[in-house]
């Protein structure tokens, strides 16, 4: 049976091999759109931000995994342990809020709800998205920086509220962790779930009305709406699995703990796949680039000496 250290090391290398190329393609594809069109749609702006965040998150997660597998003693240094966890939680929280803003954009675009709150959300997402994402990043940085005060060093080992990687040397204060978790995870998840439910219910009512009031006209193409719903659902599913894997601090089963950690290491790659299935523009750009490169290589090989 594979040892935990080898399993984590393999997952970290596999995560790097999958997440770096895929998320780099997302970033380069959106930069190509900017070069040609001069601006991005709100969806593309969020995809670009997610690609950058997932690149950074995969690098930090893999570095942490390699330290865990090769030199666990480094985590006994409080400054190293806190810096790594603060970086990871900042990127995770920001990524979760990016999922919410994507869900809010899909919801307000598809449903066209007339309530004042949704009209306000639609306006700021359409006109001030870049500023909004910057303010969200600043807010999540302020939230995650509290990790420096949440972790305290102990001279006596205690199994209660202690971290798995620190050899029970550090105690985590719940007075900091609870508000951090609420603002970083729970609030963004509930808002994203609300957007998903509203979008799904709106489409169900729309399909029901078309079916019962069919006057012979062609039915509208709902493929884009279905893709948006599928994207929100998959991102929330990744969101849920990631949050569940963060509960490894309470797990007593070491095998299950390692499985949760492996899932964390592969989550940026899975999210990149979800983004690709949601964006036809990105798929066309990547396929065109690979097709052009392959065609040029073939032409070069066929040139007579």
SS (H, E, C) the chain: CCCHHHHHHHHHHHHHHHHHHHHHHHHHHHHHHHHHHCCCCHHHHHHHHHHHHHHHHHHHHHHHHHHHHHCHHHHHCHHHHHHHHHHHHHHHHHHHHHHHHHHHHHHHHHHCCCCHHHHHHHHHHHHCHHHHHHHHHHHHHHHHCCHHHHEEECCCCCCCCECCCCCCCEEECHHHHHHHHHHHHHHHHHHHHHHHHHHHHHHHHHHHHHHHCCCCCCCCCCHHHHHHHHHHHHHHHHHHHHHHHHHHHHCCCHHHHHHHHHHHHHHHHHHHHHHHHHCHHHHHHHHHHHHHHHHHHHHHHHCCC
The whole-number pLDDT of residue 158 equals 45
The domain locations on the chain are: 4-211+219-291
From residue 96, alpha-carbon distances to 34, 114, 170 in Å are: 25, 26, 27
In terms of pLDDT, which residue wins out, 57 or 122? 57
The whole-number pLDDT of residue 214 equals 56
Q: Does residue 119 have a pLDDT over 70? A: yes
Q: Does residue 90 have a pLDDT over 90? A: yes
Indicate the pLDDT class of residue 305, thresholds 50, 70 and 90.
very low
For the segment 171-200, the average pLDDT, to the nearest whole number, is: 87
Q: Does residue 53 have a pLDDT over 90? A: yes
Indicate the pLDDT class of residue 218, thresholds 50, 70 and 90.
very low
The whole-number pLDDT of residue 216 equals 47
Return the half-sphere exposure (C-beta side, CA atoms, 13 A cut-off) of residue 106.
32
Indicate the pLDDT class of residue 51, thresholds 50, 70 and 90.
very high
Task: Tell whether the torsion through CA atoms of 223, 225, 231 and 237 is positive or negative.
Answer: negative
In terms of pLDDT, which residue wins out, 290 or 92? 92
pLDDT digits (tens, 9 = 90+) for 279-289: 888 888 777 76
End-to-end Cα spacing for the chain? 54
For the segment 226-254, the average pLDDT, to the nearest whole number, is: 74
Q: Give domain 4-211+219-291's CATH architecture.
A: Up-down Bundle (1.20)
Report how far Cα 117 is from the mean position of its chain's Cα atoms: 25
pTM: 0.83
For the segment 11-34, the average pLDDT, to the nearest whole number, is: 89
In terms of pLDDT, which residue wins out, 241 or 60? 60
Q: What's the mean per-residue pLDDT of the chain?
A: 79
The whole-number pLDDT of residue 248 equals 54
For the segment 11-21, the average pLDDT, to the nearest whole number, is: 89
């Amino acid at each position: 049976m594979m040892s935990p250290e080898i399993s984590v090391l393999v997952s970290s290398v596999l995560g790097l091999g999958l997440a770096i190329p895929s998320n780099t393609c997302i970033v380069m594809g959106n930069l190509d759109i900017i070069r040609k069109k001069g601006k991005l749609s709100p969806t593309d702006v969020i995809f670009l931000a997610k690609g950058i965040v997932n690149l950074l998150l995969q690098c930090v997660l893999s570095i942490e995994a390699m330290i865990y597998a090769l030199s666990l003693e480094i985590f006994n240094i409080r400054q190293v342990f806190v810096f790594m966890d603060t970086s990871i939680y900042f990127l995770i929280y920001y990524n979760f809020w990016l999922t919410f803003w994507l869900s809010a954009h899909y919801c307000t675009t598809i449903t066209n709800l007339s309530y004042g709150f949704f009209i306000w959300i639609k306006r700021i997402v359409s006109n001030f998205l870049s500023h909004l994402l910057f303010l969200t990043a600043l807010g999540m940085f302020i939230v995650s920086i509290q990790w420096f005060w949440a972790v305290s060093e102990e001279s006596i080992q205690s199994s209660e509220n202690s971290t798995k990687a620190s050899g029970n040397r550090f105690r985590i204060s719940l007075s900091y962790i609870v508000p951090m978790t609420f603002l970083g995870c729970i609030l963004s998840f509930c808002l994203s779930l609300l957007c998903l439910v509203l979008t799904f219910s709106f489409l169900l009512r729309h399909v029901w009305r078309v079916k019962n009031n069919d006057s012979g006209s062609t039915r509208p193409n709902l493929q884009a709406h279905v893709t948006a719903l599928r994207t929100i659902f998959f991102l929330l599913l990744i969101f849920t699995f990631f949050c569940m894997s963060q509960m490894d601090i309470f797990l007593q089963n070491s095998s299950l703990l390692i499985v949760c950690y492996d899932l964390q290491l592969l989550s940026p790659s899975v999210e990149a796949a979800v983004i690709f299935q949601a964006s036809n523009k990105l798929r066309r750009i990547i396929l065109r680039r690979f097709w052009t490169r392959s065609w040029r290589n073939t032409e070069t090989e066929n040139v007579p000496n």
